Structure 1
Amino acid sequence: MTHSSENDVPTETPQLKFLRRMVTTLTVVMVCGFLVVLTLLVIRLSSTGPTLPEAIALPDGITARAVTFGEGWIAVVTQENEILILNSLSGAIEQRVKITVGEN
């Protein structure tokens, strides 16, 4: 009768050792990727947007259809097919662009 001794530890095959290292490496890569995505989300969501004025004063009779904010300017598309470029600090009209729609 043979007795198993404490010295008889089963040896790890090379394939099993490779698989264990691969799983560990992939786990580390996934954790690092998750941390990067989480960090980018926190940075992106915590940034402030553009500074918006409390109100935009348009000339009498002009109705806005769309508004776009840029660095130092505000573009307002009106119902009269016109684009007004306003100074974002003073609100003064800097430029008017008439929109002409071509026939197809």
Structure 2
Amino acid sequence: MELPDEPANLRFLRRLVTVLTVVMICGVLVVIFLLVTRLRERGPDLPDSITLPDGSEAVNFTIGAGWYGVITSDDEILIFDRLSGKLRQKVTID
């Protein structure tokens, strides 16, 4: 039994779906590649070490423009200069 010839429209649609599938796969691969390369880039410059006052233990760390802050277990916020590393301000939380 012979199969009838495929109509031209059906052949066109089959090729179109195949091409679109390949384009979608390539697009997903490009997006994944860009995400991986962008996420691997350097983050913010962190200090090598921070000298806290005696008996203080760091609980949290945050970075601002030109400063970084450390929240201690003694309910204090210590604000350090980002370039020099010197203590700028000490805030006690009531």
Q: Which TM-score bucket, shorter chain as reference?
A: 0.7 to 0.9
Q: Is 1:21–2:16 an aligned residue pair? A: yes
Deviations 1:9-37 (A, max 9, x none): x7531223212212212211221231232
Q: Is 1:88–2:82 an aligned residue pair? A: yes
Deviations 1:47-72 (A, max 9, x none): 11222222111222322222223332
Question: Gaps (5+ residues) in structure 1?
Answer: 1-9
Which residue type is aligned with residue 28 of structure 2? G
Taking the aligned partners of 1:88 and 1:72, their CA distance within structure 2 comes to 5
Say which SS state the counterpart of residue 41 (structure 1) adopts: helix
Say which SS state the counterpart of residue 62 (structure 2) adopts: strand
Identity, in percent, stands at: 36
TM-score, normalisation: structure 2 = 0.75
Counterpart of 1:32? 27
Question: Gaps (5+ residues) in structure 2?
Answer: none
TM-score, normalisation: structure 1 = 0.69
The count of residues paired between Structure 1 and Structure 2 equals: 90
Pairs within 5 Å for 1:1-104 = 11-13=5-7, 14-45=9-40, 47-100=41-94
Taking the aligned partners of 2:74 and 2:44, their CA distance within structure 1 comes to 27
CA RMSD in angstroms comes to 2.1
Which residue type is aligned with residue 37 of structure 2? V
- Rg larger for: 1
